[in-house]
């Protein structure tokens, strides 16, 4: 089945294949040019605090859409879609417990609030358009991610440290990388930190907390962007009675083209 | 008293003068270079929906800070300030009723949520730095404001039309005006509409719904920005049992410099 050319499917077609269970894989390379995003679903009692956490920490937590309680159609990013069935793989957290599922129809409740957050795929796309190297893509690895020693601004019950992804950039392209990704403030935007990993409490740039190390060529500068693991980390710390996210790499594919998130 | 040079006071000094009742006037021209903002205070039951309304309509509703219920210190924009006393004049809405006051200490409740929104003063400052004319300042008038025929994205109980402010700009400077104000997405950002007022349902550009008409020199283009009256209009439509805002022109003066709101 997965031999089908998922790169060229429309997002609507891909989501239909996900809904029927035909496609259950990771979404890297699917529907090229369309924005893929992170999913967080929480009970309404946490919704204001989580929205506030995103508002206070927009670089690691770039909120693209939030839905009223009980609503499962993301009408801005993907009208007609159903957030309960159209993500290829979900993670369901209940306090300390975690399980994976292919849909959450039986878990749905009228008090669940869905948050859709921008993902680094979009700015990596913009960097590639600008011929800036994206090492994790070149080497087909999961981007290296580090939990820093920098606390985020807490909001209500949510708190945690800033989590960053790292991409090594040749010195003459660092400035361009800032400008190119800065056009996309809705999907992490410009870097949060350039060079000097030790200032973020990173002891060894070749030993990320998540993802894989990538090659850093001599003279390349490690450049750090806010990472979508940041809000997930704050949720994991809270251990709410219920929280649902996409499984890593199994993103929600929207109807919006990457370019639509450029600054207007 | 008002002969004191309020332009050169620090924001902290001005707020102290407001708190004691020494200064009760409009804040135009006060603490030059520091950001002044719009205040909206609502009961917690409306807070998630209002935050969502701001998130969905960021150009007319640029949220700079929201506070947890019961908190009256805006610790990001003005640490040490008290939102109950440090605005020179408040408007208190209760259903159909409205009154003005110089503080809201006796109205304060643990379920009140404060929202602080960006104001056009900041991008007008940026335009002046770039030598782009700001006609309402040149003519010492209140900027002309129009209620358009364009609905905002509704959110929960909040809905309403986009409200815009208009500044006439010489054709050769329109592009620069877009770029200069676009650096400030947190304070309305780039224009929402350029030229063709009739497309917004504006019948007569010389008859604004609020504020005063300004001179439009021959060949100048009317340029429209999202206006902070937009969220106030949505609140007025809802007629909640309690809503508190600043009185027009009597803004909250923060400790943050205008330039801090430029895109980073």
Per-residue confidence at B262, pLDDT binned at 50, 70, 90? confident
Residue B4 counted as domain residue? no
Interface test with B, best of A48, A113, A180 (most B CBs within 10 A): A48
Among B51, B189, B263, whose Cβ lies nearest the Cβ of A48? B51
* Cα(A126)–Cα(A129) distance, integer angstroms: 5
- Residue A66 scores a pLDDT above 90: yes
Question: Which residue range(s) make up the domain with B214?
Answer: 121-231
Same domain (yes/no): A85, A142? no
Q: How far is A190 from chain B (nearest CA, A)?
A: 7
Report chain B residues whose CB lies below 8 A from the CB of A188: none
* Residue environment code for B94-121, b if the CB has 16+ CB neighbours within 10 A, otherwise e: eeeeeeeebbbeeebeeebbbbbbbbbb
Q: What is the average pLDDT across B52-58? A: 96
Residue A8 counted as domain residue? no
Average pLDDT along chain A: 94
Same domain (yes/no): B25, B97? yes
- Structure-block tokens of residue B89: 């004049």
- Residue B147 scores a pLDDT above 90: yes
Residue A114 counted as domain residue? yes
Rg (CA), chain A: 18
Same domain (yes/no): A195, A247? no
* Residue environment code for A176-196, b if the CB has 16+ CB neighbours within 10 A, otherwise e: ebbebbbbbbbbbbbbbbeee
Same domain (yes/no): A159, A213? yes
* Cα(B180)–Cα(B195) distance, integer angstroms: 18
- Structure-block tokens of residue A185: 């403030």
Q: What is the average pLDDT across B191-220? A: 96
Report chain B residues whose CB lies below 8 A from the CB of A155: 68
Residue B3 counted as domain residue? no
* Cα(B186)–Cα(B58) distance, integer angstroms: 8
Q: Give me the pLDDT at residue A1, please.
A: 44
Same domain (yes/no): B84, B213? no
Q: How far is A175 from chain B (nearest CA, A)?
A: 13
CB spacing of A52 vs B56 below 8 angstroms: no
Same domain (yes/no): B67, B153? no
CB spacing of A264 vs B190 below 8 angstroms: yes
Residue-by-residue DSSP string for A125-156: HHHHHTT---HHHHTT-PPPEEEEEEEPPPBT
Kindly indicate whether the ipTM for this predicted assembly is greater than 0.85, answering yes or no: no
10 Å CB burial of residue A206 (0-12, 13-18, 19+) is exposed
Q: Helices B171-182 and B120-129 sit at what angle, rounded to 10 degrees?
A: 120
Tens digit of each residue's pLDDT (9 = 90 or more) over A154-178:
999 999 999 999 999 999 999 999 9
Q: Give me the pLDDT at residue B259, please.
A: 86
Report chain A residues whose CB lies below 8 A from the CB of B68: 49, 52, 155-156
Same domain (yes/no): A101, A171? no
Q: Give me the pLDDT at residue B138, please.
A: 94
* Cα(A119)–Cα(A38) distance, integer angstroms: 6
Residue B55 counted as domain residue? yes
* Cα(B147)–Cα(B129) distance, integer angstroms: 29
- CATH number of B189's domain: 3.30.2040.10
Report chain A residues whose CB lies below 8 A from the CB of B153: 76
- Residue B2 scores a pLDDT above 70: no
Domain count, chain B: 2
Q: What pTM was computed for the model?
A: 0.86
Among A55, A263, A264, whose Cβ lies nearest the Cβ of B66? A55
Same domain (yes/no): B141, B75? no
Q: How far is A264 from chain B (nearest CA, A)?
A: 7
Q: How far is B116 from chain A (nearest CA, A)?
A: 12
Q: Give me the pLDDT at residue B6, please.
A: 77
Q: Give me the pLDDT at residue B8, please.
A: 84
Average pLDDT along chain B: 94
DSSP-H helix ranges across chain A = 11-19, 47-56, 120-129, 135-138, 174-182, 229-238
Among A44, A48, A263, whose Cβ lies nearest the Cβ of B185? A263
Q: Give me the pLDDT at residue B186, please.
A: 83
- Residue A112 scores a pLDDT above 90: yes
Residue A68 counted as domain residue? yes
- Residue A3 scores a pLDDT above 60: no
Residue A6 counted as domain residue? no
Q: Which residues of A touch B (CB under 8 A)?
A: 44, 47-49, 51-52, 55-56, 63, 66, 68, 76, 153, 155-156, 182, 185, 189-190, 263-264
Residue B93 counted as domain residue? yes
Per-residue confidence at B28, pLDDT binned at 50, 70, 90? confident
* Cα(B92)–Cα(B94) distance, integer angstroms: 7
CB within 8 A of B84, min separation 6: which ones? B72, B103, B104, B105, B108
Q: Give me the pLDDT at residue A261, please.
A: 87
C-beta neighbour count of B75 within 10 angstroms: 12
- CATH number of A72's domain: 3.40.1640.10
Same domain (yes/no): B60, B161? no
CB spacing of A68 vs B190 below 8 angstroms: no
A4 to A8, A14, A253, B191: CA distances (angstroms): 9, 11, 17, 44
Residue B58: closest C-alpha in chain A? A64
Same domain (yes/no): A137, A216? yes
Tens digit of each residue's pLDDT (9 = 90 or more) over B64-121:
999 999 999 999 999 999 999 999 999 999 999 999 999 999 999 999 999 999 988 8
Tens digit of each residue's pLDDT (9 = 90 or more) over A114-147:
999 998 888 898 899 899 999 999 999 989 999 9
Same domain (yes/no): B18, B74? yes
CB spacing of B263 vs A182 below 8 angstroms: yes
A143 to A30, A120, A139, B145, B189: CA distances (angstroms): 18, 10, 10, 48, 32
* Residue environment code for B139-154, b if the CB has 16+ CB neighbours within 10 A, otherwise e: eeeebbbbbbeeebeb
Give the 3-state DSSP-derived string for chain B, with helices as H, strands as E and coil as C: CCCCCCCCCCHHHHHHHHHCCCCCCCCCCCCCCEEEEEEEEEEHHHHHHHHHHHHHCCCCCCEEEECCCCCCCCCCCCCCCCCCCCCCCEEEEECCEEEEECCCHHHCCCCEEEEEECCHHHHHHHHHHCCCCCHHHHCCCCCCEEEEEEECCCECCECCEEEEEEEEECHHHHHHHHHHHHCCHHHCCCCCEECCHHHHCCCCCCCCCECCCCCCCCCCEEEEEECCHHHHHHHHHHCCCCEEEECCCCCEEEEEEHHHHCCC
Same domain (yes/no): B29, B90? yes
């Amino acid at each position: 089945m997965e031999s089908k050319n998922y790169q060229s499917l429309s997002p609507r077609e891909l989501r239909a294949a996900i809904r029927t269970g035909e496609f259950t894989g990771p979404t890297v390379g699917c529907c090229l040019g369309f924005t893929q995003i992170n999913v967080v679903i929480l009970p309404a009692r946490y919704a204001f605090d989580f929205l506030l956490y995103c508002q206070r920490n927009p670089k690691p937590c770039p909120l693209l859409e939030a839905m009223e309680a009980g609503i499962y159609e993301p009408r801005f990013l993907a009208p007609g879609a159903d957030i309960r069935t159209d993500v290829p793989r979900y993670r369901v957290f209940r306090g300390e417990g975690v399980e994976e599922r292919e849909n959450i129809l039986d878990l749905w409740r009228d008090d669940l609030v869905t948050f859709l957050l921008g993902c680094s795929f979009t700015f990596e796309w913009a960097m590639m358009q600008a011929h800036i190297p994206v090492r994790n893509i070149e080497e087909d690895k999961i981007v290296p991610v580090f939990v820093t020693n920098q606390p985020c601004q807490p909001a209500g019950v949510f708190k945690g440290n800033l989590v960053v992804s790292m991409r090594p950039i040749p010195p003459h392209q660092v400035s361009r990388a800032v400008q190119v990704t800065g056009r996309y403030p809705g999907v992490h935007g410009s870097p949060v930190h350039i060079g000097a990993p030790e200032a973020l409490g990173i002891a060894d740039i070749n030993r990320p907390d998540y993802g894989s190390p990538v090659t850093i060529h001599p003279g390349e500068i490690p450049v750090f962007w806010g990472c979508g693991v940041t809000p997930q980390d704050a949720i994991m710390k809270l251990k709410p009675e219920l929280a649902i996210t996409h499984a890593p790499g199994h993103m929600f594919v929207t109807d919006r083209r990457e370019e639509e998130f450029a600054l207007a």
